[in-house]
Structure 1
Amino acid sequence: MLINELPDDCLLTIFDYLNNLDDLINCYKVSIKWSQLIVKRTKKVKYLLESYPENGDCVFHRGTEPIDGTCLSTLFPTLKFAEISYGLNEKVKYKDIVALVRNQESLEGLTGAYASPLFNHPEMVSFDLCMQHIGSSIKQLHDVCDLASFRRNAHYFPNLERLNIDDCLLTIFDYLNYLGDLINCYKVCIKWSHLILKRTKRVKYFTEENLQMDHCVYHEGEEPIDGTCLSTLFSNLKFAKISDGLYKKVEYKDIAALVRNQESLEGLIAWSPFKHPDKPEMTSFDLFEPSMQHIGSSIKQLCGVYDLASFQKYAHYFPNLERLKIISESQYYDGPVLEKLKIIELGLRSCGGLFIVHSFQVMDSCPNLQSAHIDVNDRFFVDETIKLQYLQDLVISTYNDCENSWNDFERLLKKYPNLKHLALRNLWQITDEHIEQLVHILPNLLLLDVRYCYGVTQRAADYVQSHCKRYGRSIKFYFKDNTQIQSDWPQLSTKFERISRGFDFMKHCFLKDFLRLPHLLIPIDY
């Protein structure tokens, strides 16, 4: 006898032993006769659970293998309790889960980490309305993962007798800011992985050090971790530091995937970005390969560029750069014009026996530049035919007995007629006579800082004071006292910070040495 020739009562008895959702749905599809018998069997089901049931009133949906869920609302019209888990979401389309819940007239208990998103799923803008007719019957609501969403929809459940909210776990996870801890928690179980995702989607800053800032995760140390989930965990970064230490913790392909996945990345600190220390075949950080082009247009700050040649070759990938820091061997710049650049920090070094640096020639390709911090170690190239009309803040520091004469500096400063704030540091060439010439060269000057220029004396200070009185100008002049400038300009910081709040060169950069400049300037509105 074939199984299909068995009496209906016999088949129904067999189906009563089936409690795996996949098996029931497969049997439902065999024939019209079987589908009718399966419907009879499932009408007796009161509990739809993720775990294995202990009695015939239960059906379980363990595993994530996809199934056809279009018949769920037909099969289970009399549920008392349903576990809407992330696993079920992997198996069944969202619209079929919603149809299942809509169809329940007697549902009293709802649990599962996926129960909360039912109330605010972006594709179901009307789901709040469809919950009204079943909400009054629900007495238990378990594993709600979003207190804010529940607060908006709590009025749909006037008869709740028991409520479990996972905001406690989320609150705990919010205190985790070490990358290794977050990844370990992400791997614990499906529920934890989705809660960790909620936590990491709020992360804006990905740094090496623990900066103790809101929305910040750090990755210090070199202990290896599994980085395959990085691009999943962090999709909304604004600023990222890709350090040599991270290379040792995480595989290169996972770092590249992380950066590629960012749609809103605006600041990037990429120490050794153009040559991986352990992989010489990695000639660039992959920011400069075609697959990375789509993120280049969003980046506004690029810090830690160590190869001017590579940058000028690929600078067109970054049309919206507003701040750039380069520490590199010098060479003549013939890359694209950086139209939107506002702040530049250059530490170019002479090399190859040329004994010349091109820092100011690079600046010539930044027509709208407002602020610059330049560190030079040799004679610099000056093109007097180009003037930067918008440059207002300039810091120049030298070392190693830089051989530039005052005539070089005079020619240079005439290129910036609208300078308001000027600092010349460690320039042994500058004397009192040169200060007298300088105040005439720069008619809009408000602050002149020549501390550590030991050829300048009180005579220069007296001249500046006399000049201001004679021509109705106001110039704050400092040549030896560190405390006075900080007293007169308390808003200007001397504190070493890797990340500073506010896109403000004067506040965060003017009084600092080149190697103590912040890695990132975070706009106030972030």
Structure 2
Amino acid sequence: MSFNDLPDICLWKIFENIDEAKDLIRLSKVCSRWSDLIRPRFNRVKYLHLLGSSDAVDYIDPNSLWINADTKWNYYNLFKLFPNIKIIDSSAFDYHGSFDLPEIVKNNPQIKGLIGYLDLLGSIYDLSNIEILASEFYFNVKSVFRPDQLKQVFGRFFNMEDLPSFIGYFPNLKRLHLRLYKADQVLYNGPHLSSLKILELSTTDLVGKFIGLHFMDFCPSLESAFIGYRAKNIFVNESIKNYNLRDLVIEDIEWMQSSRLSWPLLKKLLSKFPNLQHLAIRHFVKLNVSNFDLEKLMKLLPKLKILDLRGCKKVTHKSADFLSKYCVKENRAIVIYYDCENEPTEWPKLVNTRKRICYGLDFMKHFFYKKYMFLPDLVDE
């Protein structure tokens, strides 16, 4: 029996199990029937990535095209073959002289997101359709974007002095990832971010007070936050509450022996977010939370469902046993994660791999269990 005698469903299953990009492209050119069966696979591709290894072969996964820096794509109209590419990792084009990225962005209005160290100072890009951006922001955003054009920003390094004007120009951001510098004890004093749902924030400073919690006070609709903690103290204004925050991660991203996060300070901090459901306080090696403190924390957060204390060396199975007994007594269900020798297989792991593009603004799926350095660049909403 020849391939052409097979029913469509059999051919389709064969094509679905072929991942190498150029093999699929060649097969799609055999005849119109094969093209019709393979084209939906191409249409599902929304993200374009650069492969990390020069030995890797270009391939297609369920929603992405991964290309090798050494592969010659000169003979293919990439964006005609994959018409629904929506987010581009621009590093995929740094090694391909045959591609003109500004021209690609201009001629493909379906592209909504860019990742990379883009030279935006020369105004060679037409970014009128771009809504989400991961880049260095060493340029005048007003010369490149319309007011309120961006809905999601991943800023690798950002000057604290520029933040108020930046927020004023993009007040309706939904997700914001910033690593601030020149932020040592400098309190934010600018417009509110009334639409922000997800915030990831750290600073480059190791001394003084961390001002991330103060910035969160200007985000009244915030639902999820990931705080990369590096300083020795935190500025906390207990008088301002956020009743929308459900998810909070505070991670010592330097794993500093000198990091100071005591129970009294933690109590002040958590009192701001009475409706928290998922809380992670990770890698604070000196944090000592007694059973008495745990009970007070449970009463402070009556809706808490997950407590992740991994990396806090003084939290042991005794704390977990106490919490289990407390939950039985109070008829509550709370899962606690901590470092132990025989960790149950059903416990989620701290994810040490980085997926630069994720699908869906799901904080618990894409953010909560990861380390700060592995958070995604962009999220396709």
TM-score between both structures, scaled by the size of structure 2: 0.72
Classify 1:320/1:181 alpha carbon distance in 2 versus 1 (closer, same or farther; 3 Å). Answer: farther
The structural deviation recorded for 1:240 is 0.7
Q: What's 2:234 paired with?
A: 380
After superposition, give the CA deviation of every residue in 1:467-489 in whole Å (9 maximum; x if it has no partner): 11111111111221498476145
Distance 1:486 1:302, change over 3 A: farther
Q: Is the 8 A contact 2:337 2:347 kept in 1?
A: no
Q: State whether structure 2 residue 345 is matched by structure 1 residue 512.
A: no
Separation in structure 2 between the aligned mates of residue 181 and residue 229 of structure 1, nearest angstrom:
20
Larger Rg: 1
* 1:472 corresponds to: 331
CA contact (8 A) 1:205 1:239 kept: yes
Contact 1:509/1:517 (<8 A) preserved: yes
Deviation at 1:408, TM superposition (A): 1.1
Q: One-letter code of the match for 2:221? A: N
Letter of the 1:464 partner, please give it. Answer: L
Which amino acid counterpart does residue 366 of structure 2 have in structure 1? Answer: H
The residue aligned with 1:343 is 198
**1:309 alignment partner in structure 2:** 161
1:58 — aligned with what?
none
- 2:243–2:274 CA contact under 8 A, matched in 1: yes
After TM superposition, give the deviation of residue 493 of structure 1 in Å.
6.4
SS of structure 2 residue aligned to 1:521: strand
Change (3 A) 1:429 1:387: same
Quote the Cα distance in structure 2 between the aligned partners of 1:373 and 1:203: 29
User: What is the Cα deviation at residue 309 of structure 1?
Assistant: 2.4
**CA separation in 1, counterparts of 2:342 and 2:361?**
25
Q: Aligned partners of 1:234 and 1:182: how far apart in 2?
A: 21
Q: Pick from 177, 181, 192 the counterpart of residue 325 of structure 1.
A: 177
CA contact (8 A) 2:171 2:191 kept: no
**Contact 2:179/2:203 (CA < 8 Å) preserved in 1?**
yes
Q: Give the superposition deviation at 1:466.
A: 1.5
Q: 2:294 aligns with which of 428, 435, 441?
A: 435
Choose from 407, 412, 422 the match for 2:264.
Answer: 407
**Cα displacement (A) at 1:317:** 1.9
SS at 2:346 equivalent: helix
Distance 1:476-1:482 versus aligned 2 partners, 3 A rule: farther
Q: Does 1:266 align with 2:131?
A: yes
1:77-136 Cα deviation digits (max 9, x unpaired): xxxxxxxxxxxxxxxxxxxxxxxxxxxxxxxxxxxxxxxxxxxxxxxxxxxxxxxxxxxx
Describe the superposition over 1:157-188 as per-residue Cα deviations: whole angstroms up to 9, x where unpaired.
Answer: xxxxxxx9xx89xx8xx799769989956xxx
Would you tell me which structure has more helix in proportion to its own residues?
1
1:202 pairs with 2:84: yes
Q: What residue in structure 1 maps to residue 25 of structure 2? A: none
Counterpart mapping for 1:346-361 below 5 A: 346-350=201-205, 355-361=208-214
Shift of 1:419: 0.5
Structure 1, unaligned stretches of length 5 or more?
1-163, 186-191, 210-217, 275-283
1:232 aligns to 2:133 (yes or no):
no
- The 4+ residue runs of structure 1 with deviation greater than 4 A are 174-185, 195-201, 222-228, 482-486, 492-495
Partner of 2:307 in structure 1? 448
**2:244 aligned to which of 363, 378, 390:** 390
Q: Secondary structure at the match of 1:487?
A: coil
- The structure showing larger relative contact order (alpha-carbon pairs under 8 Å, at least 6 residues apart) is 2
Give percent identity, aligned residues only.
29
RMSD: 3.4
| Residue segments in structure 2 that go unaligned for 5+ positions in a row | 1-31, 43-57, 59-64
Counterpart-to-counterpart distance in 2, 1:364 and 1:349: 21
